[in-house]
């Protein structure tokens, strides 16, 4: 399990590195990061919606809402944490606005990729009725 935890940040780093390679200007790098972030955000939404659907089915079957409520809260907390963690990195690089934007988007992309990887590892299987 330890090795898996160490690998997750490396996978997110690889995605970000794709925007570093071959991008000659900060503007090109920002564009690449925007594309990667949009694609990753869609994937994250898909994973979250899928898990939420399974949890809603679980609630219908068992009548227990605690897991769905916990997931909903963790989803909100993740969004808040991501925003705050990336915001300070943005502010650190001001007044260099392009470098600040690159830092912010890189941070967001890493968090989104790590969250996707965490959701992929979810072994939730609804109880069979």
Query: Which H or E run contains 14?
Result: helix 2-20
Q: Helices 97-120 and 2-20: crossing angle, nearest 10°? A: 140
- Quote the mean pLDDT of the chain: 85
Residue 128 lies in a domain: no
Distance CA 112, CA 53 (A): 20
Mean pLDDT on 92-121: 94
Kindly report which listed range (13-22, 31-40, 49-58, 100-109) carries the lowest average pLDDT score: 13-22
Q: How confident is the model at residue 13 (pLDDT cuts 50, 70, 90)?
A: very low
Residue 125 lies in a domain: no
Kindly state whether residue 54 falls inside one of the protein's structural domains.
yes
Name the more confident of 115 and 19. Answer: 115
Contact 44, 116 (CB under 8 A): yes
pLDDT exceeds cutoff 80 at 93 = yes
Domain count, the chain: 1
User: Does the residue 127 lie in any domain?
Assistant: no
Within-domain flag for 115: yes
Structure tokens at 26: 């900060």
**By residue range, what is the domain housing residue 78?**
2-120
Could you tell me the two tokens for 18? 């794709």
- Kindly state whether residue 27 falls inside one of the protein's structural domains: yes
Provide the pLDDT confidence category of residue 17 given band limits of 50, 70 and 90.
low
Q: What's 89's domain CATH number?
A: 1.20.1270.180
**For residue 6, which phi and psi values (nearest 5 degrees)?**
-75, -30
pLDDT at 6 > cutoff 80: no
Q: Which candidate, 87, 128, 113, places its Cα nearest to that of 33?
A: 113
Percent of the chain with pLDDT over 70: 79
């Amino acid at each position: 399990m330890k090795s898996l935890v160490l690998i997750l940040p490396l996978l997110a780093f690889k995605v970000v590195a794709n925007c570093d390679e071959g991008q000659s200007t900060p503007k090109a790098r920002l564009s690449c990061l925007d594309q990667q972030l949009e694609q990753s955000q869609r994937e994250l939404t898909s994973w979250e919606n899928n898990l939420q659907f399974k949890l809603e089915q679980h609630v219908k079957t068992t009548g227990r809402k605690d897991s769905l409520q916990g997931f909903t809260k963790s989803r909100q907390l993740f969004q808040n944490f991501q925003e705050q963690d990336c915001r300070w990195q943005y502010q650190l690089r001001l007044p260099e606005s392009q470098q600040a934007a690159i830092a912010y988007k890189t941070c967001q992309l890493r968090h989104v990729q790590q969250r996707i990887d965490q959701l992929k590892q979810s072994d939730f299987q609804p109880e069979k009725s």
